[in-house]
Amino acid sequence: MTADDLTVAGIRFHTRADYEAALRDQKKINAIRARINLDDPKELYKLFSVLQSGSYRFETQLGNNFDDEIYEKIENLKKQGITPANMSLSQKEQGQKAHLSVKRQKAVFVDKDVGNNPERKKSKEPKRGSESRKRSEPARLEDYDKEMQQQILAEIKRRERRRKLVVGLASIVAMGSFAYFGVYYYFSARTSADYESLASLKNSTVLAENQTRNELSLHKTGELRLPDILEEYQTLYQKNKKLIGWLKIDDTIIDYPVMQTSNNEYYLDHNFNQEYDKNGSIFLDAECGIYPRSTNLIVYGHHMKSGKMFGQLQKYAKESYGKKHDLIQFDTIYEKGTYQVMYVFRSQVYNEDDFVFKYYQFIDANSEEEFNSYMKEMAAISLYDTEVTANYGDSLLTLSTCDHSQEDGRFVVVAKKIG
């Protein structure tokens, strides 16, 4: 299967399922264009209303592009002052409007006639006797018989119970909302304070008790002799030996320690101090190695609404932002590293049997041909051209976070080590 086999309206799709969904969207769009004159403002406004109601459900970017097209046409009409309220009326509508106008004129003539006829005017005046006063007085409970009084009181009680129930439920919902936001901001504030404290420990010369520099200078993993831990990370390493490095992007909130465990689950909801934290931590894929170093180090982080962790990573979708923040500092505990952004793209977590490029499986390239194939795939889906390329033997860094614009979506930034 070639890439052209999965292309619809100039958009390339990665899986057969996405391709078939795009064909369904294309069929819907063609049917709409055949039935509706998009140059007629009235029909365009009607279509816009139908699209907003959700009557047409599109499955792919093809449908989203059609939605955007209609939205832009509507915005252009509004700029020209063409709205449903001021578009010309049909003949039927004009006739109805004229009929209403005649009725209003007749009503005016009747009022004038009454005004000129004292007898008619008198007949319209309300009586000013005791009967009129009685009608204007509010009804009292005592005015009704006992059976009716009981029914009235029962209805009043029912309404009062409903009112109290509604107030009670509203209070519970309000308390729950306040509690949720309270917990959310508590974790957010605690996370900020914790990471500020950890950042202050970088370059610290204070080591954990009973720990000497000699013990930190040599590590063994089986038969493998590991390098010395950089001095600036020794204190942090003693606090948590799952520390694998530190990630920082200037002029952003991203300035965090990077953790690693034998699986990719623990640091989804735990912080550096191993406490439960919905923000989680920034962590390196369990399959990656920093010594010996994997070709591509994949680092994950939550896309938090507060902006914490990788909450601001999607700003790289704008080319101007990417050019301004093209350098990423990622130190392992063994060596310092500066990386330059190469590719920025959106992807997904696919099914195992989907025949498609899966960026999260690119960890080690076993040959130059395999490496170049990965580079070609990422370049093809990159949102813009950074003019930065990599060759076989270069070390790469991939930052990955959730992308809520699609199901199981991911937003990815790939950079090359330059120093």
pLDDT tens string 31-50: 899 988 989 998 888 888 88
User: For position 345, what pLDDT does the model report?
Assistant: 97
Question: Mean pLDDT, the chain, as a whole number?
Answer: 80
Domains of the chain: 3-79 (no CATH), 241-417 (2.40.260.10)
Give the least confident one: 52-56, 224-228, 299-303, 390-394: 52-56
Given pLDDT bands bounded at 50, 70 and 90, which one contains residue 167?
confident
pLDDT, position 6: 85
What percent of the chain is predicted at pLDDT more than 70?
Answer: 73
Q: Which of 105-114, 178-187, 387-396 has the lowest mean pLDDT?
A: 105-114
Q: What is the pLDDT of residues 343-367, one digit of tens each?
A: 999 999 999 899 899 999 999 999 9
Over residues 130-149, the pLDDT tens digits come to 444 444 455 566 666 676 76
pLDDT in tens, 292-345: 999 999 999 999 888 889 999 999 999 999 999 999 999 999 999 999 999 999
The residues, any chain, with a CB within 8 Å of residue 32's CB and separated by 6 or more, are 47, 56, 66
Which class for 91: exposed (0-12), middle (13-18), buried (19 or more C-beta within 10 A)? exposed
Residue 186 pLDDT: 58
pLDDT at 164: 84
Per-residue pLDDT band for 102 (boundaries 50, 70, 90) equals very low
The predicted-structure confidence for 194-218, as pLDDT tens digits, reads as follows 676 676 667 665 554 444 444 443 3
Read off the pLDDT band of 176 (50, 70, 90). Answer: confident
pLDDT of residue 139: 59
**What predicted TM-score, i.e. pTM, was given to this entire model?**
0.55
Could you tell me which residue, 189 or 418, shows the higher pLDDT?
418
Residue 180 confidence (pLDDT): 59
- Residue 187 is predicted with a pLDDT of 59
